[in-house]
Structure 1
Amino acid sequence: MKLQQTHSIDQTTAGQIACDFIAESSGVSKQKVKDAMSKGAVWLKRHNKPRRRLRRAKEVLQNRDKLELYYDETLLARKPEGAICLHDANSYSIWFKPAGVVAQGNDWCDHLSIQRIAEQTLEPKRTAFVVHRLDRETAGLILIAHSQGIAANISEQFQKRTVTKHYLCQALGETPATGEINTKLDGKAASTLYKRLSYDANSNTSWLDVEILTGRTHQIRRHLETIKHPVMGDPKYGRGNKNKQGLQLYAVKLAFTCPTTRELKTFELSNEFLQQHTSLTA
């Protein structure tokens, strides 16, 4: 069952309990509505305040509220699996994000996002802020901030390009030993550096260490496609690069300045870790 509803609350419906109102108007049981609310599928816009997810089932609706329901039974039934907190510094945390897990939720839910997983599993409980992103298909390291101040500090480091980001990827064909790709993406400057680690003639693929100096959407995947060496397993870009293992692109190294100690912090995933937790076969 999948449905989307928008309701404008007026004087005749104000005062009702949110869960009861949604259940009656949608035909979804109260138990399933509560579950959907807890997983971020209900949104509330009240007065001049920003639109937000409504998780409180007993919220009393007010006149002029705008209530939105994005109900996808299949999506809500999915369970987040494979995310691992590798380091908890209280003000920020470092996570391994598996392929298939998104950084942030969408209108339909957020329980499958690394942001919500962090909020629900870390102790003590705290707010999570996403300061950078990984494609849904990409597995690897992601940094989560736990206060607005820390998020602003780390976001500024990303904007100033002082954060080091390295990826391991398998590309089609034998690439040059090293290279730099500066093709603009979406009209914006984009810079990708790579070094070939190995080449396998049997599979006609190269393993690369890739560093990105900018953070454009699908940057590595799009840049490697422009030089005719697309990432293996990429469902969107390239030809002759499809496989059964999925996207062979992994965020393996992240280095930044700790906002509290001002020390350089470096986190790196080993091949052994990747082989245990991903589809990596190298």
Structure 2
Amino acid sequence: MKEITIGANEEGKRLDSFLKSYLKEASGSFIYKMLRKKNITLNNKKADGKEKLSSGDSIKLFFSDETFEKFRGQKESSGFKNLGDALKTFGEFPVVFEDDNIVLVNKPWGVLSQRASQDDLSLNEWLIDYLYDKGELTKESLSTYRPSICNRLDRNTSGLIICAKTLIGARKMNEIIKDRSVEKYYRTIVTGRIKDGLSLKGFLKKDEKTNKVTIKDKDPKDDSYSYIETEYEPVEYIKDTDLTLLEVKLVTGKPHQIRAHLASIGHPIIGDVKYGGKKIKGLNTQLLHSYRLVFPDNMGEPFTDIEGREFIAQLPDKFKEFLE
């Protein structure tokens, strides 16, 4: 017999949906048959699968060990075989803020936000390792919910990423990202002098083969293009090098948006050779950093601690060198 105790991350799910996710290799007909025969019970009672789960509920599976392992499948073990590798590879990342539901991490250059292939290690894997190492996750809890990032940065863009530790955290963070009520600001250095702030609007299309985007000022009436909006304010003009330090507000969030939008007005980011940026000795990436996040007011429980708050991720050393 196997007993599962429902936690906050499974609360609100239907029993049959939970079982189909948990017993990955079992058919729906098998699960309903087990429910009818009381080989699967909810709180020691017969269930039909339509019940909504609550935290603390007990699900018992009266299976042999062989049957249980068969229907759990090999995916479980494959998901854990690299547990710990990301933390060993990357070491500790700066944590800017953490509570019971979210972690704000200052991602370094050169780290993927999420893996592009099965063998990659990314911030997602680091997050799992970080929480597992702290004792906040177990292999059992990972089998029903995997913490993950909520917003992405390019591999060579550094700075703040929102990570969800819990399902309620993921739902709320994805909601405020989607409705754009969380404000995202970046710091970057561009070629040329920019005297005034401006709001840029346009339409962006990404070519997956070249991993490069195209921007048009006017609506091309083509569904493959997405509307984008980028705001910026000059922070400092570096006269000796004819460079400007900018703070950029990402209103919409599309791939390579800031890089391509600034290049389209003749002010490419230094080091960003893909979009015409100046090649700098000793710099093999674009100088773009997710610098600060401002959370909206009135987020409600359990997010009152971050309502209206601003969080800042310190600039990387390489960025500071160029400013100095």
TM-score normalised by the shorter chain: which range applies?
0.5 to 0.7
Q: Please list every run of 5 or more consecutive structure 1 residues that lacks an aligned counterpart in the other structure.
A: 1-44, 50-58, 69-74
* Partner residue, 1:90: 100
Q: Could you tell me the TM-score, scaled by structure 2's length? A: 0.59
Shift in CA distance, 275/158, structure 1 to aligned 2, threshold 3 Å: closer
* Partner residue, 2:302: 260
Retained in 1: the 8 A contact 2:108–2:159? yes
Which deviates more from structure 2 when the two are superposed, residues 83-92 or residues 224-233?
83-92
**Structure-2 separation of matches of 1:212 and 1:98:** 19
**Structure-2 separation of matches of 1:221 and 1:248:** 10
Retained in 2: the 8 A contact 1:168–1:249? yes
* Partner residue, 1:38: none
One-letter identity of the residue aligned with 1:199 = Y
Retained in 2: the 8 A contact 1:82–1:98? no
Out of 95, 98, 121, the position equivalent to 2:130 is: 121
Shift in CA distance, 222/82, structure 1 to aligned 2, threshold 3 Å: farther
Out of 233, 242, 248, the position equivalent to 2:287 is: 248
The offset of 1:48, in angstroms, is 7.2
Shift in CA distance, 188/261, structure 1 to aligned 2, threshold 3 Å: same
Out of 220, 234, 244, the position equivalent to 1:206 is: 244
**Between Structure 1 and Structure 2, which shows a larger proportion of helix residues?**
2
| Structure exhibiting the larger radius of gyration computed from Cα positions | 2
Aligned residues: 219
* Partner residue, 2:213: none
Q: Please list every run of 5 or more consecutive structure 2 residues that lacks an aligned counterpart in the other structure.
A: 1-23, 29-67, 79-84, 138-145, 206-224
Retained in 2: the 8 A contact 1:172–1:204? yes
Q: Could you tell me the TM-score, scaled by structure 1's length? A: 0.68
Structure-to-structure mapping, 1:65-76, within 5 angstroms? none
Task: Tell me the secondary structure at the aligned position of residue 245 of structure 2.
Answer: strand
* Partner residue, 2:59: none
Q: Does 1:216 align with 2:254?
A: yes
Please tell me the root mean square deviation across aligned C-alpha atoms, in Å.
3.2
Q: Does 1:104 align with 2:114?
A: yes
Retained in 2: the 8 A contact 1:131–1:145? yes
Q: Does 1:280 align with 2:293?
A: no
Q: Does 1:136 align with 2:177?
A: no
Out of 177, 181, 187, the position equivalent to 2:196 is: 177
Once the two structures are superposed, residues 233-273 of structure 1 have per-residue CA deviations (whole angstroms, 9 ceiling, x without a partner) of 1142114354522321111101224561342232113xxx4
**Structure-1 separation of matches of 2:69 and 2:316:** 49
Task: Tell me the secondary structure at the aligned position of residue 185 of structure 1.
Answer: strand
The offset of 1:149, in angstroms, is 2.5
Retained in 2: the 8 A contact 1:172–1:241? no
Retained in 1: the 8 A contact 2:113–2:155? yes
**Structure-2 separation of matches of 1:223 and 1:81:** 34
**Structure-1 separation of matches of 2:113 and 2:291:** 16
The offset of 1:133, in angstroms, is 0.6
Shift in CA distance, 178/254, structure 1 to aligned 2, threshold 3 Å: same
Task: Tell me the secondary structure at the aligned position of residue 132 of structure 1.
Answer: coil
Shift in CA distance, 65/79, structure 1 to aligned 2, threshold 3 Å: closer
Task: Tell me the secondary structure at the aligned position of residue 149 of structure 1.
Answer: helix
**Structure-1 separation of matches of 2:292 and 2:255:** 19
The offset of 1:200, in angstroms, is 1.7
Task: Tell me the secondary structure at the aligned position of residue 162 of structure 1.
Answer: coil
